[in-house]
Chains A and B, each alone.
Chain A
Amino acid sequence: MPVDRIDELGGRPEPEQTLHVNRNRALRRFLRHRLAILGTVTIAVLVIACAIGPYITPFDHLFIDIRSRFQPPVSGAHVFGTDEMGRDLLSRLMMAGRVSLTIGFAAMMLSTIFGTLVGAVAGYYGRKTGAVLMRFVDAVLCFPNIFLLLTLAAFIQPSLMTITIIIAATSWMEVARVVEGQLRSLRERDFAVAAEMIGAPNSHIMFKELLPNAVAPIVVAATLTVARAILMESYISFLGYGIQPPEPSWGNMLNNAQQYLNSAPWLAIFPGLMITLAVTSFNFLGDGLRDALDPRLEV
C-alpha cells in the first residue's frame, strides 16, 4: 500500500509533546508554587483531623463540665483549653470543622453543577437564550450577598442542608460566567462543527465535546468557591442565623467568644485561626491550580 510509507515522512510525534509529559508539566508548575503546596497540605491536615479527630479525643464536644470552665490552653488535659461551659475546645473545633468543610464542599458541588449547567446552556445556545441567562446571572451578581443570605436564613429553618443550599444559591454565578465564556469560544472551533456535521445531538456536543475542554477553569473556580462558602458559613453562623448552638461551627464559636475576649482570648483566636487557615489554603490552592492549568502555557 503506497500510503504506508507516508507515515514515516509525516514525522513522528515529538517526545516532549506526549500527553504524559504535558500532565507532568502541569504538575511541575503546580509543585513550583510553594504556597499552593502549603495550602494543599493544610487542607489535607484539616480534613483528616476533622474526619478522624473526634473519634480519638477522650472529650465529647457537647460534654459540659462546669468545674473546668475557662481552662487556658496547654494547662491541663485540654490541649486547646475549655470554653465557658467547660467543653473541650479542640473537640469542638474539630466538630465545627466537619460542619464548615462539609458545607464548603457541598456548596461548591451544588454551585459548580448549577453554574456549569447555566453557563453551558448560555454559552452553547448563545443569542437570546444566552443573553437572557447571562443578564439573569448579572442581576443575581448585583445582590449584596450577605444581606441576601441573612434574609433567606431568617425565613428558612437553619440546618446543614438549607445553609448549603443558600450558600450555593449565592455563589454559582462565577462558575456560570467562566463556563459561558469558554463554551462560547469553544463552540466556534472546528471540532464542534465536526460534531455538528456528524449529526450529534446538542447534549453530546455540549457535554462530551466542549465541556471536557473547559475543565481547568471550572476546577479553579470551584476551588475558590470552597473558600468563599466556608467564609459565608462563618458569617451567617457568627450572626446567629446559621448552625445553632450547642452544635459548634467556627462562626458561632466566634460569636460566643465575643463576651470573653478579655478573659479567655483563646476562645476567639482558635476558631478565627481555623477560618483563616481554611480560607487562605483554598485560595492558595486555587491560585496554584490556575497557574498550573493555564492553557496559554500549554504550547
Chain B
Amino acid sequence: MTVVQTGTPLLTAEGVSKWFFLGNTLFRRGRQDVVRAVDGVSFDIRRGEVLGLVGESGSGKSTVGRTILRLNEPTAGSIRFDGHELAGLTRRQLRPLRPRMQLIFQDPFSSLNPRMTVGRIIDTPITIHAPETSRAARRERVAELLHLVGLSPRYAERYPHEFSGGQRQRIGIARALVMNPDFLVADEPVSALDVSIQAQVVNLLLEIREKLGLTMLFISHDLAVVGCVSDRIAVMYLGRIVELAPTRSLFLDPRHPYTEALFSAEPIPNPAIRRDRILLKGEIPSPVNPPSGCVFRTRCPYALPDCAKVVPPLTEVAPGHAKACIRDDLDLRPSQHA
C-alpha cells in the first residue's frame, strides 16, 4: 500500500485481479481471449468510512465490488476482511462471514424475487443464519427494518411489483441490513432511479450509515453522487485504479488526466458558466486487448511516448492522495470562468 492512512482497515484489497476467460467450450479449447475486467487493484477501507468508486461503464467497478464480496473468485490478489483472508475460501467457508457483508443492487426490479412477499424477502437471511428464530421475532425485525428504511410495516405482506423503483430500492436496503452487517457494497444504488428519488435514497443511505456505523464501498459513475457520499474516492479506468484521494482533495486538486476529464463531463446546473470541456477521443479500449503501459494513454490529451512503456504504479503525491500517472508537471485543477 502506498497511501499512508490512519485508522484500522476493515477491508484490504491487494493486487486483486479478476480475469474472465472467453471462448472455452466443450469442443473448442486452446487459444483463449482474456477479459481483464479488474487488473491489480489495491485499496483499503477503514472502519466507518465510505469509499467511493467511480469510472465509466466497463471500467470494472461492479466487478471489484462483487469480487471483494467473493461473489466472484479473484484471479489473483488478496482480500482481507477483518482479519479473514477471503480469497480462496469455499462457499461453505464463506457462509459464516456472509451476514457481515452485504450488497445493494443497481436494478431494483431484478433484485427482489417477484414470487416472495416483502416480509419473506427481508427475513430470508434470518431463516438461513438463525433458523431457530421465532416467527414473531422475525416479523418484528422485518417491521423494524421497514421502519428504518422509511416504509410502512404493513407493506410486509405485499409483493415487489406493487412498489415503485425507489420503494423497491428501500426494500433491497432493508434486506441488506437485516443481519446487521459491518460492510456494505452499494453497486450503483441510485443509477436506475429518477433524480428526485436518487436524493432520497442517498440521504437514506447516509442516515443509516450514521446510525449503524457502517463501512461502505459506494460504486457509481456519477461523480456528484459519489462526492456527496464518500470520504475518499477511487477513480477506475479499464480495470485499474488511476487515482485515489480524499474527496475534497480529489475535487479541488485532481492529479490524473482521466479524473480531470471526468470532472469536465459533469454537467453544471448553471448555463451562465462556461468552461472548456475535455472531450475524450474514442471509446474505452477493449479489456481483452488493453493498451501497453498506461491504459489511459490512447485517450489522454497529455500522453507522451514514455506512457506506452511502463504501467505507472499508484504513487502517493500528497498525503493520502495517490495517482497512477508518470506526468507530474500538470496542473489539472478545475478552472471556471464566468
Contacts and interface: CB of A to CB of B under 8 A. Distances in A.
A199 B162 contact: no
Nearest to B158: A13
B112 A191 contact: yes
A117 B197 CA distance: 42
B316 interface: no
Interface stretch (A1-9, A58-66, A146-154, A284-292): A1-9
A7 B96 CA distance: 34
A193 interface: yes
A200 B128 contact: yes
A13 B158 CA distance: 10
Contacts of A7: 150-152
A19 B204 CA distance: 28
A3 B164 contact: no
B129 interface: yes
Nearest to B114: A213
Interface in B38-86: 66, 69, 71
Contacts of A194: 103, 105, 111-112, 172, 175
B135 interface: no
A198 B163 contact: no
A246 interface: no
A195 B124 contact: yes
A18, A193, A194, A200, most chain B CB atoms within 10 A: A194
A17 B98 contact: no
B122 to A, nearest CB: 11
Interface in B156-190: 158-159, 161-164, 166-167, 170, 172, 175, 179
A22 interface: yes
Question: On chain A, which size bracket covers the interface?
Answer: 20 to 34
A11 B161 contact: no
B110 interface: yes
A189 B175 CA distance: 16
A196 interface: yes
B149 interface: yes
Contacts, number: 102
Nearest to B179: A198
A7 to B, nearest CB: 5
B32 interface: no
A196 B95 CA distance: 9
Contacts of A9: 196-197, 200
B124 A200 contact: yes
A156 interface: no
A144 interface: no
B273 interface: no
A3 B207 contact: yes
Interface in A156-204: 189-191, 193-201, 204
Given A6-B200, A190-B105, A13 B163 contact: yes
B69 A197 contact: yes
B110 A190 contact: yes
B102 interface: yes
A198 B164 contact: no
B67 to A, nearest CB: 13
Contacts of A209: 113, 116
A10 B98 contact: no
Given A10-B200, A199-B95, A189 B128 contact: no
Contact of B162 (A4, A17, A191): A17
B110 A198 contact: no
Interface string A198-216: 1111001000010011000
A65 B116 CA distance: 61
Given A17-B162, A190-B111, A191-B113, A196 B204 contact: no
B287 interface: no
Contacts of B284: none
B204 A6 contact: yes
A213 B115 contact: yes
B71 A4 contact: no
Most B C-beta atoms less than 10 A away, residue of A6, A11, A198: A198
Nearest to A193: B71
Contacts of A200: 124, 128
Contacts of B179: 198
Contacts of A189: 110
